[in-house]
Amino acid sequence: MGVLHLGQVGAGDGVLHLGVGHDALGSLVRGGCKRLSLRCKEGLPALHAYAREFSQSATRLAWSGAPDPYDPGDGEALLRADRLAEVGILVTYALVTASRQYHY
């Protein structure tokens, strides 16, 4: 079991920040970054208090420089198709891998 937080993946710079727990989903996301040659950096803190409760089984993704999701100026005009596509491929890789291997 795991939770993916995808709140800041539609815009930002070229480094994907990861807040990963110690679960199988987090390791799949880390491995996917390497396999897909994405520039990733770990250490992203939990965004909400409830997320800290699930930190061992939660993975948060956010591009560096992504706008705050609660900023009134954030909207669809800032979305970047390339950023959404990269995260979409990463998430697909992680979930397909998990679905094909019995130990996940």
Residue 85 has pLDDT above 90, yes or no: yes
- The model's pLDDT over 15-57, given as tens digits with 9 standing for 90+, comes to 998 887 767 888 889 899 999 999 998 887 766 666 666 556 7
Backbone angles phi, psi at 3, to 5 degrees: -125, 135
Query: Could you tell me which residue, 35 or 58, shows the higher pLDDT?
Result: 35
User: pTM for the complete prediction?
Assistant: 0.82
Taking every pair of Cα atoms in the chain, the longest distance, rounded to a whole number of angstroms, is 44
Among 45, 18, 44, smallest CA distance to 30 is for: 18
Report the C-alpha gap between 94 and 84 in whole angstroms. Answer: 15
Residue 54 belongs to what domain range? 3-69+76-100
Q: How many domains does the chain have?
A: 1
Is the per-residue pLDDT at 67 higher than 70?
A: yes
